Structure 1
Amino acid sequence: MKLRLACLFVLAATPALAVDPTGVPQCDALLKRYEACSVELSPKQLHAAQKELLEGAMGMRAAGTDPKLRPDLERFCDDTFEKMKKESDIKDCMSKP
């Protein structure tokens, strides 16, 4: 039990995760920037962002291998990146070159 709590504390205190590449350049760029910028979020938002990064990367990795889904996924990642540059809590960081 103590080990589990210690692990949860470490995860909650970790500012960024190393998200494995998805194989889709547009999605990798989005996830890389989101991961880097997530340190600017509040602790509560950071935890949610870390979860979203891990789950999103898994889903993108799976969808990226399907030739029928890949074009839509590429568009989704491009559109999401642009939206985050304009509307997210970390828009200034997301907009950096």
Structure 2
Amino acid sequence: MTYRLAFVFLIAATPAFAVDPTGVPQCDALLKRYEACSGQLSPRQVHAAQKELLDGAMGIRAAAADPSKRADLERYCVDRFEQMKRESDIKECMSKP
């Protein structure tokens, strides 16, 4: 019984969900890498990272529908990706090719 509970907790604590594509390649690359690397965060940070991923993807999809915002959105995602490679708690993972 103890082993089953530990296994269920492990599965529940692992960020194993997929963020749907946003249609903006630069943003999809950022979100995909962030999702892959978020498992290296502390357990307390994983939930916040999952929420940020889902909220971010929804916002990006909404903004991507407006052609006047697309270039700014692409630039934002590239800049944010580079910032996370330099300054985040998971910068080593975010920097992998």
Task: Give TM-score scaled by structure 1 length.
Answer: 0.86
Which runs of structure 2 are paired with 1:27-66 in the superposition (5 Å)? 27-66=27-66
Bigger CA drift: 10-19 or 73-82?
A: 10-19
Give 5+ residue unaligned stretches, structure 2.
1-8
Alignment deviations for residues 38-79 of structure 1 (CA, whole Å, 9 cap, x no partner): 000011100000000000000001101110011000000000
Matches within 5 A, 1:1-97: 13-97=13-97
> Separation in 2 of the partners of 1:31 and 1:11?
21
Contact 1:21 1:28 in 2 (8 A): yes
What is the number of residues matched between the two proteins?
89
Q: Matched residues, percent identical?
A: 78
Unaligned runs of 5+ in 1: 1-8
State the shift of 1:83 in Å.
0.2
Larger-gyration structure (1/2) = 2
> Post-superposition, which runs of at least 4 consecutive aligned residues in structure 1 deviate over 3 A?
9-12
